[in-house]
A and B are shown apart, each in its own frame.
Chain A
Amino acid sequence: MAKVVVIGSGFAGQTAALYLGDALGKKHEITVINKYDIFGYTPSWVWVGVGQMEPEKTTFKLKPVYDKFHINFVQGTARSIYVDDQYVLVDKANGGGEEKTPYDYLMIATGARLNFAGTPGLGPHDGYTASICSLSHAINARDRLFEAIARMEKGERQKIVVGTGHPGATCQGAAFEYLTNIHKVLEKRGLRDKADLLWLSNEPALGDFGVRGLRIKKKGRALTSDEFIRAVFELYGIKWQVQTGVRKVEPGKIYWENYEGEEGETDFDFAMLIPQFLGPGFTYYDKDGNDVTDQMANKGGFVLVDAIYGLDWDTLAETPEAWPAVYQNRKYKNIFAAGIAFAPPGSISRPFVNPNGLSITAAPPRTGMISGIIGRIVALNIIDLVKRGRMTHAERMTEMFAACIASMGDSLWDGSAATIVIYPVVPDPRTYPNEEGRDLFVTDMEMGLAGAWMKRMIHTTFMHKLQGRIGWKLIPE
């Protein structure tokens, strides 16, 4: 009987758990370790953060789902991994003490560790900005936004800043969506003229989203995501400032540096800035009790897998096989990492170091659909290893698609959304020998009511799928 342990139950972990439970649950031991006893549907926290969706509609209890799939559930925080002795040391929730969870195969799918400390003054707890990166953060962001709205109702003008709060942050898509939803909420309340909205980001250009942007054919001409997002912002009266790394936040003031090395500050009344994401941050020990963390993870705590690390960006851009295919650690082949937890070989967007030596580089996004796909690949390979002793599945981010749907209101009648479909996520100039390195039929961006329908459809179908309800396997990640 094989023991499979999954740490984390976000998109990657939950998807993997369902596949593993379905294929192995009755004959083998599948265990999921997660800090919380609920699953949270991250993409809809944007709506929670503007008060358009009740928090409960974005969550469900994990235990009943796991019972159905014959999966053990340990609620707690994984602290360290003993790679030779093959167990995870877990601090159980509610004062349950330490517990050893043994494994034959381990999948690390913890999602991001939010590094608010990386930017002094950032974040909802010890700082002055809001976040939508966790459910409690999104609820807090909603309350703070409503306070700003109340001030607008009294006639005060408010400055709202949304974007990235660290020079190396990712997840620009979620921040962009949050900003357009704020615009919509203010418009509905007749308060749009009382607010100045600013997009503040580390992207090299508007619409880069950490994936090097995109270019499509529209109205008989080439259209870049820079031009597209610029047109959206102009339509909505949103100002923007890109190529900017936030260094510090004080009450009502954001301090930044830009590509030119200039230092400046931006005032705000309400700000939602995405922090830097770090990897799980486990300590790894070998059989002699030596700390082997530097062999297992990079400096950011991201787990090293079957990628080619250390290439310069231009070489990486021409080398699709540098991106991992099976997300397996090279030394400990029974350890896999999925979603944000794995260490990418570099950025998709061109990195930039300003004259002061500050790297202002959008990190590659590995959330949502990408996490789900990687979760499935890893789960299917673990199933292969258990049943056949060899892996038969592989998918690099140069073969993966992603859809970023930035809604502007949630109404199915008069809502709207900017829909951006990218395939592949990481350009592959060998398979697609065009300027973009992408499939030009699939890759698209447009704005309209259809996007609002897509967004709602994806929320409903993913919540259905991730609860393992009837037909869950038919719904693609």
Chain B
Amino acid sequence: MTFEITEKDARKMNNKLIQLWRFIVLNLKILKAVDHSKRS
């Protein structure tokens, strides 16, 4: 099964509310990694 970016995916990619949520999640992921980094 190949992965493809569907029209539904494309709409999600530009939905401001969903993207705000993704922006927060991405920052949380980076902060988790940074937390480790800063402790070294």
Contacts and interface: CB of A to CB of B under 8 A. Distances in A.
B20 to A, nearest CB: 7
A451 B20 CA distance: 10
Contacts of B1: 221
Given A235-B5, A394-B40, A403 B30 contact: yes
Given A439-B33, A448-B22, 7 more contacts: A221-B1, A228-B3, A231-B4, A235-B4, A446-B26, A447-B5, A448-B12
Nearest to B13: A448
Contacts of A311: none
A395 B12 contact: no
Interface residues of B, number: 27
21 contacts: A223-B3, A230-B2, A231-B5, A235-B10, A373-B37, A377-B40, A393-B40, A399-B36, A401-B30, A421-B30, A423-B29, A444-B26, A447-B5, A447-B13, A448-B13, A448-B14, A449-B13, A449-B14, A450-B20, A450-B23, A451-B26
A150 interface: no
Nearest to B21: A450
Interface string B6-30: 0000101110101110110011011
Contacts of A446: 22, 26
B14 A414 contact: yes
Report which residue of A395, A444, A450 has the largest number of chain B beta carbons within 10 angstroms of its beta carbon.
A450
Contacts of A400: 37
B15 to A, nearest CB: 8
Nearest to B38: A476
Contacts of A414: 14
Contacts of A373: 37
A442 B2 contact: no
Contacts of B14: 414, 416, 448-449
A197 B31 CA distance: 36
Nearest to B31: A476
B13 A416 contact: yes
Q: Which 3 A-B pairs have the closest CB atoms?
A: A401-B33, A448-B13, A450-B22
A400 B1 CA distance: 33
A414 B29 CA distance: 24
Interface string A410-454: 000010100101010000000000000001011010111111011
B37 A476 contact: yes
Interface residues of A, number: 39
A218 interface: yes
Nearest to B24: A450
Interface of A: 218-219, 221, 223, 227-228, 230-232, 234-235, 373, 377, 393-395, 399-401, 403, 414, 416, 419, 421, 423, 439, 441-442, 444, 446-451, 453-454, 476-477
A442 B13 contact: no
B10 to A, nearest CB: 8
B26 A441 contact: no
Contact of B23 (A439, A454, A476): A454
Contacts of A401: 30, 33-34, 36-37
A477 B34 CA distance: 8
A205 B10 CA distance: 25
Nearest to B20: A450
Contacts of B40: 377, 393-395, 399
B3 A231 contact: yes
B22 to A, nearest CB: 4
B32 A442 contact: yes
A394 B10 CA distance: 42
